[in-house]
């Protein structure tokens, strides 16, 4: 949530963006079974005043909506002899808001593919080393983590990498990495380097292919519509 408290710090554009982010915050809290009715009521009032261009009133309602959300969050914490502890609901809220499920999944996937590269790099399938797929999987794990970081940097919360679809990225990247190795080992794209450098270059290409999995999905989707 916003750290600024003075209306003078907000332009109309800033307040509009803040209201959009706050709506997503309320949605994350509601999905975590936190009672945000009071906060939502003030948010609606802020939204209406904003569209009437009554920015001062919109800010006041927005500020009150944040206050009510904070109160709802505190009310959802566990009270242990006067000490407020995070409850399952509040922990769930932070996981949803900041994409921590994606972070945990991305880290576990990176550790898994790192282990597979270390332990099974010598395995081949149809003369294609499986490390090509494993490096692509490592790249897709990096994509998930960087996507979460990018969302938080730009929006203050996660808006993309919090859905179930990101869980399929490492699986698809295995296929893309395999195909990338076939493409570059076939000589269709040649490196003017020695054998050892070419191996490292191919590993990097497989990693980069995995990192670009989301982009590749978009391009293949566009291609399929034109066929």
- pLDDT of 35-52, one tens digit each? 999 999 999 999 999 999
Alpha-carbon distance 16 to 47, whole Å?
9
Half-sphere exposure of 182 (CA within 13 A, CB side): 11
Lowest mean pLDDT, pick from 41-50, 62-71, 111-120, 180-189: 180-189
Element of type H or E holding 222: helix 213-226
39 with 26: CB under 8 angstroms? yes
- Torsions phi, psi of 85, nearest 5? -115, 150
Task: State residue 38's pLDDT score.
Answer: 95
Can you give the pTM of this predicted structure?
Answer: 0.77
Query: 130: which residues sit within 8 A by CB, 6+ positions away?
Result: 116, 120, 121, 123, 124
Element of type H or E holding 10: none
pLDDT digits (tens, 9 = 90+) for 124-180: 888 889 999 999 999 999 999 998 888 888 888 887 766 677 888 999 999 999 999
Q: Is the pLDDT of residue 4 over 50?
A: no
71 band by pLDDT with thresholds 50, 70 and 90? very high
195 band by pLDDT with thresholds 50, 70 and 90? low
Alpha-carbon distance 70 to 166, whole Å?
30
H runs (alpha helix) in 52-193: 55-75, 88-97, 100-120, 131-155, 169-185
Alpha-carbon distance 83 to 130, whole Å?
52
33 with 94: CB under 8 angstroms? no
């Amino acid at each position: 949530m916003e750290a600024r408290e003075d209306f003078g710090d907000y332009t109309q554009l800033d307040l509009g963006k803040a209201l959009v982010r706050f709506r997503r915050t309320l949605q994350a809290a509601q999905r975590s079974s936190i009672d945000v009715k009071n906060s939502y009521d003030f948010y609606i009032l802020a939204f209406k005043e904003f569209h009437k261009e009554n920015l001062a009133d919109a800010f006041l309602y927005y500020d009150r909506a944040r206050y009510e959300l904070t109160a709802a969050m505190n009310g959802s914490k566990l009270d242990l002899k006067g000490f407020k502890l995070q409850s399952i609901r509040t922990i769930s809220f932070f996981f949803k808001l900041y994409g921590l499920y994606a972070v945990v999944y991305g880290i576990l996937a990176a550790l898994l593919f790192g282990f597979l590269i270390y332990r099974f790099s010598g395995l081949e399938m149809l003369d294609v080393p499986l490390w090509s797929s494993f490096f692509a999987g490592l790249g897709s794990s990096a994509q998930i983590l960087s996507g979460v970081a990018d969302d938080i940097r730009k929006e203050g919360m996660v808006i993309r990498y919090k859905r179930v679809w990101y869980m399929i990225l490492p699986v698809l990247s295995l296929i893309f990495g395999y195909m990338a190795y076939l493409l570059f080992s076939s000589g269709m794209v040649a490196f003017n380097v020695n054998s050892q450098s070419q191996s490292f270059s191919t590993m990097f290409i497989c990693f980069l292919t995995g990192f670009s999995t989301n982009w590749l999905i978009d391009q293949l989707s566009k291609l399929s519509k034109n066929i």
